[in-house]
Amino acid sequence: MPRVIDIYNYIDSFAPFSSQEEWDNSGFLVGESEKEVNKILVCLDITSATLNQAENIGCELIVSHHPVFMGGLKSLTDNCLAYKCAKKGIAVISAHTCYDFAEGGVSDICAQALGLKNIRKAKSVPFTLGETDCKTVMELAEKAKDVFDTDITYSLEDKPIKTVAVVAGSGTDFMYDAMDEGADVFFTGEDRHHAFINAAENGLPLVCAGHFETEIIAIRPLAEKLEKEFPEVKFYIANEASPMKHI
C-alpha cells in the first residue's frame, strides 16, 4: 500500500507545495510519513465533523484544502484539531494555495464551471483568465448564481465584459494585477466592503460567489485525481456544508 509520503509526493507533482503563498501553510502537517494508507478522506476544511467522519470510516489520512493550522501555532492542546488528528493517528496533508493556482486546480475548475473559453494562467501572478459569453456583469452574476447555487454579491452590473479573472476563495489582493492583465471583471469567492469601493473607483466589477462555494467544487476532482493514481486506496469525500447561512 502507498505511504503518506507517497500521497504527498504525488500532490506535489501537480500542485507544488513550493508554489504556495508566503503566508500559507500547505504541506504534510500531521502524522507519520512512512505510515501505509488504505483509506483517505478528502475535504475542504478539517473540522470536528470531518475528523469524526474520517475516524468512523477508518481513514489513516485526511487530504484537506485548507490547512489544519495556520498563523504560527503556539500551543497543541486537547481542543486543537491538529492535536486531535495526531491523537487519533490520522495524518494530514493540506494543499491550499498551491492547489488554487495549479493547472487544473481550484481556480481553473471555477473557470470551467462558469463556461469560460480560452482558459489560461495569467503571465506573472497566480490567477486564471478566460473569456465569457455573458455580455454584462449582471449576466455573469446570474450565471454564477445558477452554477454555484448561492447568493451572489456583485458591482457595476451594467458594465460590458469579455475577459474574466478568476481566483477561488478570497482573491482580490490580485485585483490590480487582473486589470493589468486586461480583465474586465474579477470573479472570486468573497471580499471586503472597501475592496468593492476601490474596484468600482478603478472601473473593475467584482462578482463574489462565496468562499465555500467556489472551493468545494474542487474537492471531488481532487479525490478523483488521487484515486486514479492510487486505485488500491479507498477515497471518501467528506460531507460538508458552508458555515455561513443566509436568510
Mean local confidence (pLDDT), 7-26: 97
Q: What is the pLDDT of residue 71?
A: 79
Q: Which residues contact 141 (CB under 8 A, 6 or more apart)?
A: 152, 154, 157, 207
Beta bridge partners of 136: 160
* Dist. CA 188–CA 90, nearest whole Å: 32
Per the DSSP assignment, residues forming a β-bridge with 164 are: 130, 185
Question: For the residues of 13-60, what is the DSSP string, one character each?
Answer: HHS-GGGS-TT---EEEES-TT-B-SEEEEES---HHHHHHHHHHT-S
Judge whether residue 16 has pLDDT over 90: yes
Separation of alpha carbons 88 and 244, rounded Å? 28
Bridge partners of 30, per DSSP, are 92
Domains with residue ranges and CATH for the chain: 4-99+218-237 (3.40.1390.30), 106-214 (3.40.1390.30)
pLDDT in tens, 153-177: 999 999 999 999 999 999 878 999 9
Q: In the β-sheet with 27-30, what is the strand arrangement from edge to edge?
A: 27-30, 91-94, 61-64, 39-43, 234-237
- Angle, helix 219-229 to helix 4-14, in steps of 10 degrees: 120
Rounded percentage of the chain residues whose pLDDT exceeds 70: 100
Residue 124 pLDDT greater than 80, yes or no: no
Eight-class DSSP state of 214: H
